[in-house]
Each structure stands twice: as structure tokens, then as C-alpha cells.
Structure 1
């Protein structure tokens, strides 16, 4: 299968193990630009996920194929050693990728992403995501987005912020979003909480205090594996967008620690 790629990058990438960034549903690689601008000294690559940005015409069928896309995207850029950070949907794809034990992965950072549902809860989630997918492919995008950003995880947004976010997402293709939503539904994702509880890979989970659902999830994950570093910002669901400078500080410290660990090896 042939993949298309577009990425936003900072150079030089060869100076250290690069940081690969994965955005959330409805976004694209440029969502990370404020964070990247705050960290010019760190090599970073922000990829467009399938169904988004310049890859909106690219479809994947489930997590295995999405992981193959990511592996191919890294290979196409000559990246064999890397760190991976993902937000929401991008975090879930990053987590699945890490669970496949890729040899070159040196660290994982998750921003407000779900580790997976118990089997008994997946059918209901599939139905939930299917209902949204049908709306995205059949209704005016602006109307669907207006309801999308009323969901509980976006409760920290005021009306002006919500309108601004909606306007930024109007460039999406509803059919492409629907296809990716079906392919990456939380109902199709394996429950990776046991993997997180046992992994020796360095993991950081960043949550926002005002996103109670994911903050509580992060607290639970951290209690099951004390090696997971749970960091908290005073924000909601999309921390790298609302607090790019603070988020960049976390990445700077993380990159420095990773560099020290690599030197010690």
C-alpha cells in the first residue's frame, strides 16, 4: 500500500532523537506549531494523521493499519530512533504503536488519551461513534462541529474559544472524518491499561485538572504503575493548544531527561 505524507518539522533532526507528534481528531500537524515555535532547539515532526490535513484522502481500517501507516511514515523519513507524543486520538494511536514494542521507540508522552475500554463497554462505544460518523458524513460540517464542541471534555472552553475552534476545523472533509472515526473508535481499541501498568518504557501522561474524565483516568494509571509520570496542567482537554508555552516546558524537560538516559546507556 502506498501512503502519502505531510509533516511540519523543526531542524536539525539529526542532532538528537526526534520527537514525533500526533494530533487529535479534526486536527492536523499545524496544531502543534505554537509548541514547536517555543522549542526551536528540539527536533520535532508533526504528522498529519490519515483522514486529516494533506492525508484526508488516506483511509485506514483499524489500529493495525494505522500503526502500519505510522511505521511507514517514520521509515520514509529515515527515522529509526524516536520519541512519540500524542493528543487524544493521536495519543491512542501512539499508545497502540508503543504496545507493539517497536525497537526504536525511546519514550512515550500521552496527552489526555484513553487507554481502552473493557470488552463489555465496547459495543456501546461503537454505536456512539457510529452515530457521530453518520452525522459527519451527512450533515453540514458547521452544525456537527457546533454540537461536537458541546461535549463534556470541552467544557473548559468559553463561547469565544469554542467558536474559534469550530472555525479552525471547518477545513475538514466530513466523509474523511467519519471514516477515521469508525476506524479508530474506542470500541475497536484494545484495552491497553494492562500494558501501561506493566511497561518499562518511560511514559509521561499529561492531564488537565479541568478535564475531570481524563484527569481521573491519568490518576488511576499512575497509581497502577509508579513509573508513569503523571503531570498536571491547570487546563482542559487540549492542553498543547490552550497552554503551548507550559506544554513546551514539559517537552523540554522530557527531552533533556531522555538525552541524559541515552548518554548513560
Structure 2
């Protein structure tokens, strides 16, 4: 893929998933020397555990504030899972500086009729995070079908990495950014001129199927696949980094005007 030296000046902003923090991206960042990476801690996570948002509007305002505080005015944005949904919501508000969007195993949003059931589902998990020992809840969390690619050792590693979370903080973020509270952004994806790259893992049946459906619906996305499950960047950081490098170094004319 052709490159333009000026493209490398664009900062790359990275958003992690629920229960993670900015450090999740470090193995990928280590494989991207020369690229100005900014891996943020979402509200309720990492160094921002005390921070609360009430919904997607406040989460977007937080992200805009973070970009401003870091002096980031023109940028590339990538997000995984929850971070991807927040990135997608941010992009749908047409921020002037966003040049391109990359989403990893992300959900575009549910039809309105399906949202109440999802809010109820997420409320059940939120109550567990608030009221039960974190290790017990995490053990069940990583047995969900979306993490089916993890074996027993993989689940144990994920659980150990996530024990630094605070149950109440996770619960607050889960309630605020429930998929049931997210608008269906597939129509926006069908009409946007912003370059959107969508990565799905072929072993993550749910999210791979969602990405394929978006393509069939005529959404304006560049759908790429990797062999793997839900958390591709964590399990294959060097492969994911190569893909990111190609994306960051895409010709300038392919970026948003």
C-alpha cells in the first residue's frame, strides 16, 4: 500500500473494551515504532476508575475533552468492543478532526425493539459486579459464548488481568453504555463518507456475522478478517499491529477530507 510521509503525523487514538485499560494496547504499540499512539483509559477503568458518565453523550464529551487536553485535533481512532462502540458513536457526530475509523469486533447497535431486553440483561451483570466477589463474576463473564475461543488457561489469564477493576465502577460503566442504550448506527454507516475499517475474528461467530451483515446491507465499511476470536489485538498483537500500520499509512487521499 502506498504511503505518504505526512500521514504518519496523525496521532492514533486507541480505546479498550469493558474491564480493560489503556495498557491492553501496549504490546500492539510496542510493535508500532514511530507512530504517535494514545491509549486512553475509559471512564471507570484504569486511572479513570473514579470517573463516571451517565450515557453515550457524556462518554463522547469525555472523549472530546481528552483529545482537547492532549492537543489532538486531527487523528485516527480505533476501538475494540465497548471502545469500538464509543468510537463509532463519536464518529457519528462528525467530529471535524477525525480522519478515519477502525473498529475491532464491534456492535453497530440494536433495533429499538430489542433494546429493553438488552438493558435488562446488562443490569443483571451490573448487579453482580456490584454485589459479588469480582473473581466469581469474572469467572462467569469469560464463559460467555463471545469468549468461546478461550481455553481454561486463557480464561485464567484474562481473569487475573482484570482483578484490578472495581466492581462498582464496572457496573456504572456497563449501565451507562449498555448496548440497549446505543442507537442503531447502521444507517449512519450506510451514508457516511468517513473511511471506516471493520475487523472481525472468524472464530467470533456473533461479531463476524454482524460485520458480514453490515456489508450485505450496503454499509460503507472496509471489512477485514483475522483468524481468531473476540479480542484479536490481545491474542495476536504483532499481526494486529501490522494491520494497523497499513491502515495508519494509507494514502492521504483515502482519508476523510
Class of the TM-score when normalised by the shorter of the 2 chains: over 0.9
> Does the Cα contact within 8 Å between 2:18 and 2:82 map onto a contact in 1?
yes
> Partner of 2:24 in structure 1?
31
> Does the Cα contact within 8 Å between 1:117 and 1:189 map onto a contact in 2?
yes
Superposition deviation, residue 42 in structure 1? 1.1
Q: Secondary structure at the match of 2:181?
A: coil
Give distance in 1, aligned partners of 2:212 and 2:39: 27
Matched, 1:169 2:200: no
Q: How many residues align?
A: 251
Matched, 1:181 2:181: no
TM-score normalized by structure 2? 0.95
* 87, 90, 95: which one aligns with 2:80: 87
Give distance in 2, aligned partners of 1:121 and 1:261: 36
> Partner of 2:3 in structure 1?
none
> Does the Cα contact within 8 Å between 1:198 and 1:225 map onto a contact in 2?
no
TM-score normalized by structure 1? 0.92
> Does the Cα contact within 8 Å between 2:10 and 2:74 map onto a contact in 1?
yes
Give distance in 2, aligned partners of 1:171 and 1:191: 32
* 97, 103, 118: which one aligns with 1:104: 97
RMSD, matched Cα: 1.5
Q: Secondary structure at the match of 1:187?
A: helix
Give distance in 2, aligned partners of 1:152 and 1:40: 35
> Partner of 2:203 in structure 1?
210
Q: Secondary structure at the match of 1:178?
A: helix
Task: Within 5 Å, give how 1:41-56 maps onto structure 2.
Answer: 41-56=34-49
Give distance in 1, aligned partners of 2:220 and 2:17: 25
Ranges of 4+ aligned residues in structure 1 off by more than 6 Å: none
